[in-house]
Amino acid sequence: MPATDFDAERSFDDERFSTSEVFQSDRMKVVFGYFEPGQFIPVHAPDSDVVITVRSGSGVVREGETDRRVGPGDVVVVSAGTARGVKASDGERLEATLVTAPPPTDAEHEPVREGIRRGEFDSQNRSE
């Protein structure tokens, strides 16, 4: 059984959000996400469910057309095929656990890589 904690895995990156993989199987992937202020996972819509649990900090989780303000202890569940993204508030770091089932494919993560490259949370240019 994999066992770890946020403190042992914590790693921030000045350029983009960082993750630490806790567990992966064919059915599920668990990562810790570490975001500097303003960093984000761009909006994308993979064919997997995701559960996002905020450990510390604050930010926004996009679920379809809804932006949900989140803070410590908040849990957001987004169904497969629904657009989602995560963005840390400008004033503080954000730490969260993200559980996806099944794990997104490499092709489904292409919009994430493209959004990071462009520096865009939402490529449809919705207000952030």
Residue that has been written with the tokens 């770890």 in this structure: 4
CA nearest to 88, candidates 63, 113, 60: 60
Q: Which of 63, 66, 64, 65 is nearest to 52 (CA)?
A: 63
State the pLDDT at residue 127.
47
* Cβ partners under 8 Å of residue 123, min gap 6: 42, 43, 111, 114, 115
- Helices (H) and strands (E) counted in the chain, each on its own, are 2, 9
Q: What is the distance between the alpha carbons of residues 59 and 84, in angstroms, rounded to a whole number?
A: 13
Domain 17-118 has CATH 2.60.120.10: yes
- CA–CA gap between residue 69 and residue 46 (Å, rounded): 22
Contact present, 115 and 94 (Cβ < 8 Å):
no
Beta carbons of 49 and 114 less than 8 angstroms apart = no
Q: If the chain, 128 residues long, is cut into consecutive pieces of 10 residues, what is the mean pLDDT of each piece? A: 73 89 95 97 97 98 96 98 97 96 93 93 66
